[in-house]
Chain A
Amino acid sequence: MGIYFLSLGLLLLGALISVVVSEKWKLKVCTVSSLLSTGLMLLPAIAVLLTGMELGQTVYMSPMVGYVDFRIDLLSAFFLTVISIMSFLGVLYANGYMKPYLGKGMNVSSHCFFLMMLIASMIMVVTVQSAIFFLIVWEIMSLSSFFLVIFEGEKKEVLNAGIKYLIYMHLSMIFILAAMVMLDAHAGSLRFADFANSITPGSTYANIVFLLAFIGFGIKAGFVPFHNWLPDAHPAAPSHVSGIMSGVMIKTGIYGILRFLLFIGTPSKLISYIVLAIAVVSALYGVLYAITQHDIKRLLAYHSIENIGIIGIGIGVGMLGLAYGNQFAAVFGFTGAILHVLNHSIFKELLFFAAGSAYIKTHTRNIELLGGLIKKMPYTALLFIIGSVAICGIPPFNGFVSEFLIYAGMIKGVPASSMSLFIVLVLSIAALAMVGTMAMLCFTKAAGIMFLGNPRGVNLDNVTEVSRVMITPMTILAFLTFFIGMFPQYFIMIAMVPASMFTGGLASLNSLGSLYNMVGELSYYFFLFFILVAVLLGLRKLIGIGKENAVHTTWGCGYDRANNHMQYTASSYADLFISTLKPLFKRVSHIKKPKELFPKEAYYEQEIEDIEEAYIVKPLINWDEKFLTKFERIQNGNIQQYILFGLIFLILAIIGMVYFGG
């Protein structure tokens, strides 16, 4: 545990030093402190994962907070590993990404400080096991990420997105607080250790606690319908922050949900179905809206919602497995979900970084204006394509492994007793399959329009490949996606360790050995696949020898003067799908029709609004505004009246105290 505190201290030290040194050195200081702290933090985390022995220490903080439990149990250890590695890669990438912003009077100081604070607070969120201090570090995490989002706060939309994010995070806080208070009231203690098993599993009280926590943490994680901050905050933030937020920070929401699941014991069938339903809706909703987006970072943000949905499906299947006593569904649901936490953080960071590299060079996030980047930025393009394949769950990359586990849990999780569960599971399987193919549509669009073809609007003459500092973290991430995809058995074994906290011991896993062996066998066949492709490539080369290849323009069906604006666009690529599912979208068109005999200016623009925002959030806010303006009269600037209000309140409070207290 000493190493843990040392590592945490290094992060905070880095944060402080980075404030005082000159601008050039700030990020370097951050990188060094993050590297050292990651290296140290991995020691206890991996030790816990390998040995299964928990670490813990109780520290006296202050009279108000009292004693605080710091514990690294199996679940914490897994999240700790993910957070440490992914955050470090984000900081490394920031070294290159922030270069254009240096020396322009931007507030790099506070950016570096809050970046370090965010990492430190995330680490504490997953290790602190006392309610009050947990809420404090949770709040620090939300605030520091808020300051990171508004880095370019002089832009109006960035500030708006930041404030929206802040409001959502405090809504989340209210629900978490309520759940904690309910647990505290029952357990009579603020320590997580006392929370566990304090409530009767399956009781209404337990259900309410879990649902409150699910909403609270679900806002952070981005489950539909609590997702609305995500698609605004991610495009506003700098790319490494989007990467860290989407890859790691929203996973703390998943951590919270899993932690509360441990508190309430075996979940009831009702809440298991609710979790599965919300997760399926999130996955479908996220990918549907991702298809409609042409801002690459907004698109990726919606994909985060989709992947959180997939993780949720895993958790839902696991919970149903527990509720119905189906060991197989429980083990594979939870293992798949936990593994997908790791997998998603890897490929989502990779995609955000690659998209950020394209943005820093072309200064646009609108994919409709891009194209042909693969010739100017070959590495970035390759890395983005690798990330795209991985996120679609296509083998032999890591997305496939966790989705396969969740599929396996669902297919084999069908019990002989319950007809409703059978139908729900089969339909969830179909939903997951649909999510996969829709992700394919979305990412062929993103990768194809951004990187392939010819430039569509932005001049690429001066665009070059990004620096090596930015390529390195992306390469590491791409390698990880591939490595996990090729050797799934080892990572499944690691993810099974925290999953065993939910499914009760590893002993029961022996009966599932056949599937474990099967996954190992699969890794062997993936090697064969590579040999097959290599042999085919060799044959293709052999056949190609001595043949003359002519280079020509793209076939334009007889038309020889095709230009770049005649290429297929992202809108038209997605349009067939969007128009098929018309009722699910709200389309807003801006049209200026050509009018005069010799028309000068005309345009047509179409954007797709989030229906949740258009039909739920906006009306709510309007209603709220209307209601609150009725109180405007009270705020009249007259100090005497304000004092009167205070007096009235005090009198009411005293009467209340006498009445209820007596």
Chain B
Amino acid sequence: MAISLLNILILLLAPFLMIGVIKKTKAFWAGRKGVSIWQPMRDFIRLMKKGSVISETTSWVFKYTPVIGLGAVIFAAMFVPLATGQAIVNLPFAFVIFSYVLGLGKFFSLLSALDTGSSFEGMGASREACFSTIVEPAFFIALASIAALTQNYSFESFKLILKNAGGYGYIIIALAVVTLFIMLLIEGCRVPVDDPTTHLELTMIHEVMILDNSGVDLGLITWSAGIKMFIFEALIANLLIPLSWPLWVSVLAFLAIIFILAVIIGTVESSMARFRMTHVFEFIFLMSITALLILALVTYRVYGG
């Protein structure tokens, strides 16, 4: 119980700091002093105090989507191993439940974008929907392969890769990290897929979908986006932390990995521009390739040699 509470607390609060670290890193590479890493938290609190401007075109879909989205993200996080290496709810085939629950949030965010009747927001929705048709199969290939390798069908399988695959385990883990990192960039809408700080609506993906959200709603949406990124970072961290470490060490290692990943994301964003929309697909297909490589390695390990 205490462990679950600790996990939930980290889940709800860490995303703000994570975004803060990304911003700080970008400021560092740009040679600026940058805002404090607490600024995202302050922004959130400020948004919570504001009223909203609501479009006259919208319906209940627009009104409830931020809450449904936040609920879906938190609920999906329950099935994922967090700071302590254990999921709050540990079920077999958790990755299926996980991605379909995230799908609920996505479904409503797409609908909400169309609800405004805007000439721009549908564009972002179209892109987001299109990307996920390529992302999800790759994610399922990677996770199903790992499940078959370890004969464990929950996210615990991440910890058993080394035991089951020997030396190949390191390669599989590396490939899985790359796969999940690309997924993190896509789902979190970061450079080089999407630029969260861009100012031109035509090039946006996630930001353009929420053009009409303001005040509390905007705060909830940015919070859920942060939590979603954090979940994928948590998955990566769990790939890297072995089972044998004592609890407090693995919690510290977890937080360190989250920190390092945030720094890497910030560095990536400072060192490159976002891809042209046509090239984004090539980048996303990279994820399919790494996933297929995992499948190939697992096949070789289990059935070959």
Contact = CB atoms under 8 A, between A and B. Distances in A.
B254 to A, nearest CB: 24
B53 A549 contact: yes
Interface string B195-222: 0000001000000000110011000100
A533 interface: yes
Given A525-B78, A554-B117, A452 B111 contact: yes
A187 interface: no
Size class of the contact patch on chain B: 35 or more
B288 to A, nearest CB: 9
B70 interface: yes
Contact of A568 (B55, B121, B215): B121
Contact of B117 (A407, A429, A454, A547): A454
Contacts of A400: 100
Interface in B93-148: 93, 96-97, 99-101, 103-104, 106-107, 110-111, 113-123, 125-127, 129-130, 132-141, 144-145, 147-148
B165 interface: no
A102 interface: no
B57 interface: yes
B129 A440 contact: yes
B295 A552 contact: no
Given A429-B141, A572-B122, A575-B126, A453 B148 contact: no
Interface stretch (A9-17, A263-271, A418-426, A639-647): A418-426
Interface string A401-436: 000100110111010101100110111011111101
A342 B61 CA distance: 28
A564 interface: yes
A47 to B, nearest CB: 34
B216 A543 contact: yes
B273 interface: no
Interface stretch (B29-37, B44-52, B233-241, B256-264): B44-52
B68 interface: yes
A407 B141 CA distance: 12
A556 B114 contact: no
B148 A411 contact: yes
B284 to A, nearest CB: 10
Contacts of A540: 66-67, 216, 220
B141 A444 contact: no
A577 B64 CA distance: 27
A522 B91 contact: yes
A644 B290 CA distance: 73
Given A395-B100, A437-B136, A533-B68, A576 B53 contact: no
B168 to A, nearest CB: 16
A285 B122 CA distance: 25
B78 A515 contact: no
Contacts of A440: 103, 106-107, 110, 129, 132
A522 B67 contact: no
B71 to A, nearest CB: 4
Given A429-B140, A575-B126, A533 B116 contact: no
Given A400-B100, A422-B302, A423-B299, A536 B56 contact: no
B169 interface: no
B145 A567 contact: no
A288 to B, nearest CB: 10
B122 A567 contact: yes
Contacts of B129: 437, 440-441, 444, 577
Interface residues of A, number: 85
A571 B60 CA distance: 25
B147 A411 contact: yes
The majority secondary structure among interface residues of chain A is helix
Contact of A544 (B130, B133, B216): B216
B281 interface: yes
Nearest to A375: B59
A536 B70 contact: yes
Contact of A536 (B71, B130, B132, B133): B71
Contact of A389 (B107, B132, B220): B107
A576 B132 CA distance: 13
A549 B52 contact: yes
Given A389-B107, A423-B295, A441 B130 contact: yes
A375 B57 CA distance: 9
B74 interface: yes
A574 B117 contact: no
A25 interface: no
A305 B123 CA distance: 28
B110 to A, nearest CB: 4
B28 interface: no
A427 B140 CA distance: 9
A122 to B, nearest CB: 32
B215 A554 contact: no
B248 interface: no
A336 B143 CA distance: 21
Nearest to A449: B114
Nearest to B93: A408
Given A444-B110, A568-B114, 10 more contacts: A407-B96, A411-B96, A422-B302, A430-B141, A448-B110, A448-B113, A522-B97, A554-B212, A568-B126, A573-B126
Interface of A: 371-372, 374-375, 381, 385, 388-389, 392-395, 400, 404, 407-408, 410-412, 414, 416, 418-419, 422-423, 425-427, 429-434, 436-438, 440-441, 443-444, 447-449, 452-454, 515, 518, 521-522, 525, 528-529, 532-533, 536-537, 540, 543-544, 547-557, 562, 564, 566-569, 572-577, 580
Interface of B: 48, 50-61, 64, 66-68, 70-71, 74-75, 78, 89, 91-93, 96-97, 99-101, 103-104, 106-107, 110-111, 113-123, 125-127, 129-130, 132-141, 144-145, 147-148, 153, 201, 211-212, 215-216, 220, 281, 295, 299, 302-304
The 9 lowest CB-CB distance pairs between A and B, nearest first, are A568-B122, A448-B114, A453-B117, A430-B137, A419-B303, A547-B51, A441-B129, A533-B71, A444-B110
27 contacts: A374-B61, A395-B100, A404-B93, A407-B93, A411-B147, A414-B148, A418-B303, A419-B303, A419-B304, A430-B140, A434-B133, A440-B107, A448-B125, A452-B111, A521-B91, A525-B75, A537-B67, A543-B216, A549-B215, A551-B56, A554-B55, A564-B117, A567-B122, A568-B122, A569-B122, A573-B126, A576-B130
